[in-house]
Homo-oligomer: A and B are copies of this chain.
Amino acid sequence: MSPAGPPHGFQQDPGGVLYECLALGCWAPPPRALEPEPRPRPATPWPGRDGAGPCGREEKFCPPEGAGAPRSRQDGAGGVEARPAARPRLGRVEAVDGARRFANHRVLVEPAAAAGVAVMKFKNPPVNSLSLELLTEFVISLEKLENDKSFRGVILTSDHPGIFSAGLDLTEMCGRNPVHYAEYWKAVQELWLRLYLSNLVLVAAINGASPAGGCLMSLSCDYRIIADNPKYTIGLNETLLGIIAPFWFKDTLVNTVGHRTAERALQLGMLFPPAEALQVGMVDQVVPEDQVQSKALSVMAQWMAIPEHARQLTKSMMRKATADSLVKQREADIQNFVSFISRDSIQKSLHKYLEKLKQKKG
Contacts and interface: CB of A to CB of B under 8 A. Distances in A.
Interface of A: 1, 3-7, 12-14, 16-17, 20, 222-223, 238-245, 247, 250, 254-260, 262-264, 266-269, 278, 281, 284-285, 298-299, 301-307, 309-311, 313-315, 317-319
Contacts of A302: 4-7, 12, 268
The interface centre, meaning the residue of A304, A305, A315 with most chain B CB atoms within 10 A of its CB, is A305
A24 to B, nearest CB: 12
Given A239-B307, A284-B4, A307-B242, A260 B255 contact: yes
Nearest to A266: B314
Copies in the complex: 3
A259 B255 contact: yes
Contacts of A243: 310
Contacts of A239: 306-307, 310-311, 314
Nearest to A250: B317
Contacts of A266: 314, 317-318
Given A13-B305, A259-B318, A285 B4 contact: yes
Contacts of A264: 222-223, 284
A311 B262 CA distance: 13
A4 B267 contact: no
A299 B5 CA distance: 7
A105 B306 CA distance: 37
A6 B305 contact: yes
A267 B305 contact: no
A46 B9 CA distance: 49
Contacts of A260: 255-258, 281
B16 A307 contact: yes
A14 B310 CA distance: 13
A318 B260 CA distance: 9
A263 B318 contact: yes
A259 B259 CA distance: 10
Nearest to A16: B307
Given A4-B302, A6-B302, 5 more contacts: A12-B302, A250-B318, A255-B259, A262-B318, A266-B314
Leading 5 A-B pairs by shortest Cβ distance = A12-B305, A239-B310, A242-B307, A263-B318, A255-B259
Contacts of A244: 310, 313-314, 317
A259 B322 CA distance: 12
A309 B242 contact: yes
A223 B306 contact: no
